[in-house]
Structure 1
Amino acid sequence: MSPPIPSRATVPPAAATPVALSYELFPPRNATAAASLWATIRELEGTNPDYVSVTYGASGSNRDTAVELLHRLLTETSLRPLAHLTCVGNTAHDLAGVIAELLDHGVRGILALRGDLPQDPATARPPGSLTYARDLVELIRRVEQRRSAMLCAGKVAIGVAAYPAKHPESPSIEHDVEVLLAKQRAGADFAITQVFFHADQYKGLVARARRAGVSIPIIPGVIPLTSRRRLDRLAALTGVAPDPALLDALGRAGDAVESRRIGVRATVGLARDALDAGAPGIHLYTFNEHAAALAVLEALQLPRPPAVVRRSVRPQLVRA
């Protein structure tokens, strides 16, 4: 007689599943930029994102301003920050200290990145430095393990980067997937893609990753396609050109309003194609500007969980 087959809970249809939403911010460089950033933060806060990521300069060049921004997000807003952290040019000892500092501030999500290689090869790998993002993922897990009691036996969410187009330093797109698999095995929980301009690039990445055994969520990172100059710079960095028709339309736009309208429409189409392909959410690269991001979000009409009102609780004096 065959053993009984254990029953499995039914999974709700994909259409009923809320879609994840997140934004990327970067620390301000001066007081004027800080005022603009905080105006953007207040606008984005009203959309109830799942988290906002905060970038980290090469070799920790803006560490103090990044940590300050993370602290303010945690203490002055309802937003959950995801702290970027790069390992190139940093020793394991120094990075362990940074990770501990982030956890002490209340950060519970870290995006583990290799980071850009320094221009001077002599400074690329100081003694004791980490080489790859997977090494940083492993280090975060080791620090987490030592602090499990302080975290109430919880877990730090670790994100990593994924590449829809071949990484500029990679020999092949297949190698990029093997790197992503290694980061998953090291303890990564999810991946956010670098910028892409064609939905087929995202679909291809997911297909290759799943065949290789990558099971973590792969969230498409989407940039509002509203600036011809910005797209040209990104195309030079990624080696993948945007749609020539889009570039032409942006180049012929009469003003910033028309450029935004054209770019938002293209961005919405790209994001919808990724969502239709099964993307679990959308990560919007905001460049610290909220107008285009909010226009994209309004057009997408993402199914989202109900907003939870978070109120700060002040201790009350107990009188006898």
Structure 2
Amino acid sequence: MKVTDHFKNADKTLFSLEVLPPQKGESVKNLFDHIDPLMEFKPPFIDVTYHREEYVYKKRENGLLEKMTTRKRPGTVGICAAIQNHYKVDTVPHLICGGFTREETENALIDLHFLGIDNVLVLRGDCVKSETRFTPEPGGHHYATELIEQVVNMNSGRYLDEEQTYKNSTDFCIGVAGYPEKHSEAPNMKADIRWLKRKIELGADYIVTQMFFDNQKYFDFVRLCREEGIDIPIIPGLKPFTTKSQLTLLPSMFHIDIPTELADAVEACKDNKAVAQVGVEWAIQQSKELVEFGVPSLHYYSMGKSESVRKVAEAIF
């Protein structure tokens, strides 16, 4: 079922989550052990991230450096199929520009359609760690808008290098990312909203936001979107604090602000157990306020750890 259909059929705010594929060498049991404690809250869909290949440089005997690729996690398509088969819930694979040619993207979408997966979250993706700017794969997409166009074309039965239109088209529900504190590469919020609106005009069906810790940022973002005529569902993304190191790590990675009150509370903690408790309490208050606001779903970034998300969900659902 499509994510948007779940929203239409719901009479209250839903619970959903995002998971990471397990590390290379781990079995699917590691992933299921993470998801199992959260299934009592009946998530109608689970997002699965995609992690592109990274590069390492190894010194050869002649002194030259050899560029080698390394992949640390299994494929998102297979993980989505495993989750959908095991739990009988819908999955939302992340589809990114980086690391894919257009042909590889089409093949991934064909596989997803064959597996009965009805949703994709379309993203440009981040640059690899060894680069300072995003570089598309040769023959790949530069922007999420181009990737959306390819999915929309397949939904209309138009495939690459084919002159005819096929009847056996796909029918993906397309999600895109939104940034309550603006994308790090956008010059300002107005420009960021304008680019987001273009994604909606091309065919995106819903928005899921980057994590935030100040609900006012989300409320302002929704208002700006509505003023620009963006009327599709906007799902807030949440993450409970779990470690003191996240005070600097999260702003650096995701370009977000940590409210002074939360930062002071985390700084005052003696250990990460206390930090996790602060994080749960903050996320519960965020969640309650967002439910009152009428959000379609509370979407939790579990980051491979379910304990804090479970405590928050117990207080809300």
Please give the range of the TM-score, normalised by the shorter of the 2 chains.
Answer: 0.7 to 0.9
Which residue does 2:193 correspond to in 1?
177
- Secondary structure of the structure 2 residue equivalent to 1:241: coil
Greater shift, 158-167 or 25-34, is seen at 25-34
Query: What do you get for the CA RMSD once the two structures are aligned?
Result: 2.6
3-state SS of paired residue (2:88): coil
Question: Is residue 45–residue 78 contact of structure 1 (8 Å, CA) maintained in 2?
Answer: no
Does the 8 Å contact 2:24/2:72 carry over to 1? no
Indicate the SS of the match to 2:246. Answer: helix
Q: Say if 1:59 and 1:90, in contact at 8 Å, map to a contact too.
A: no
Paired residues for 1:86-235 under 5 Å: 86-118=96-128, 119-120=130-131, 124-146=135-157, 150=168, 155-235=171-251
Q: Percent identity?
A: 28
> Does the C-alpha gap of structure 1 residues 49 and 122 become closer, same or farther in structure 2, counting only changes over 3 Å?
closer
Matches within 5 A, 1:169-318: 169-301=185-317
The 3 A distance-change label for structure 1 pair 167 and 205 is same
Counterpart AA for 1:109: N
TM-score by length of 1: 0.81
Tell whether 2:86 aligns with 1:76: yes
Q: Alpha-carbon deviation of 1:150?
A: 4.9
CA shift for structure 1 position 284:
0.2
SS of equivalent to 1:201:
helix
Does structure 1 conserve the Cα–Cα contact (< 8 Å) formed by 2:126 and 2:134? no
Pairwise CA distance, 1:96: 0.9
Deviation, 1:62, is 6.1
Aligned: 1:41 with 2:35 = yes
The one-letter code sitting in structure 1 at the alignment partner of 2:150 is L
Conserved in 1, the CA contact under 8 Å of 2:122 and 2:148? yes
Residue 28 in 1 paired to residue 30 in 2? no
CA distance in 1, matches of 2:148, 2:89: 23
Deviates more, 1:99-108 or 1:20-29: 99-108
Given that 1:111 and 1:160 are in contact with CA atoms closer than 8 Å, whether structure 2 keeps it comes out as yes
Q: Compute the displacement of 1:124 (Å).
A: 1.4
Q: Which digits, 9 at most, give the CA deviation of each residue in 1:55-107, with x for residues without a partner?
A: 00136956743222112112222221100010134322221111111112221
Q: Deviation at 1:120?
A: 4.2
Q: Is the contact between residue 22 and residue 51 of structure 1 (CA under 8 Å) also seen in structure 2?
A: yes
Residue 33 of structure 1 deviates from its aligned partner by 7.2
Unpaired runs of 5+ residues, structure 2, are 1-9, 55-70, 159-165
Inter-partner Cα distance in structure 2 for 1:295 and 1:123: 37
Q: Secondary structure at the match of 1:97?
A: helix
**SS across alignment from 1:228:** coil
C-alpha separation in 1, matches of 2:138 and 2:233: 34
Structure 1 or 2, whichever has the larger Rg, is: 1
Task: Name the aligned partner's letter for residue 75 of structure 2.
Answer: T
Where structure 1 has 5 or more consecutive residues not aligned to the other structure, the ranges are: 1-15, 302-320
CA contact (8 A) 1:59 1:88 kept: no
Secondary structure in 1 matching 2:156: helix
Q: How far off its partner does 1:23 sit?
A: 0.3
Give 1:233 deviation, angstroms. Answer: 0.8
1:177-214: CA deviations, max 9, x gaps? 11111111111110100011211110111011111111
Kept after mapping to 1: 8 A contact 2:24/2:74: no
The yes-or-no answer on 1:66 pairing with 2:76 is yes
Do the aligned residues in 2 keep the contact of 1:56 with 1:62 (CA within 8 Å)?
A: no
Mean alpha-carbon deviation: is it higher for 219-228 or for 274-283? 274-283
Q: Distance in 2 between matches of 1:228 and 1:177?
A: 32
Q: Which amino acid aligns with 2:90?
A: R
Structure 2 counterpart SS, 1:261 = helix
For residues 161 and 221 of structure 1, what CA distance do their matches in structure 2 show? 10
CA distance in 1: counterparts of 2:37 and 2:136, whole angstroms: 41
Instruction: Report if the CA contact (8 A) 1:203-1:274 is conserved.
Output: no
Q: Matches of 2:124 and 2:242 in 1, distance apart?
A: 29
